[in-house]
Amino acid sequence: MNEKTKTAVSVQGSDQAPFVYFDGVVTFGLIGGVVQIELAANCRVPAISGDKEQVISRNVITAHLRGSDDAMASLADAIDKALTMRKSPAKSGSANGG
């Protein structure tokens, strides 16, 4: 019987980590050799102007990503692999591409 070898990765505190949603990247750059990326999402907020009720749309920063070149390359690789999973429904939902 041919069994796959699995490597366990120990991650702690994942149930406490925030979920980050974003609609796009609003800016990016390098400062002191550190890659910086700002993520933003559209936010719709009820407002009153005089006697008129309205909804105001605005973009708000949802996360400030900071990382080394290696960390950002790892993130880019994970994003590429996750997007590739859309083309292969049988693999959708599997963690770490497994």
Contact 56, 47 (CB under 8 A): yes
**Contact (Cβ atoms closer than 8 angstroms) between residue 78 and residue 67:** no
Show pLDDT as tens, one digit a residue, over the chain (98 residues): 445 566 666 667 777 788 999 999 999 999 999 999 999 999 998 998 888 999 999 999 999 999 999 999 999 999 999 999 988 866 555 556 54
Instruction: Spell out the domain ranges in the chain.
Output: 20-88
> Which residue in 85, 84, 65 sits closest to 75, CA to CA?
65
For 57, phi then psi, to 5°, come to -100, 135
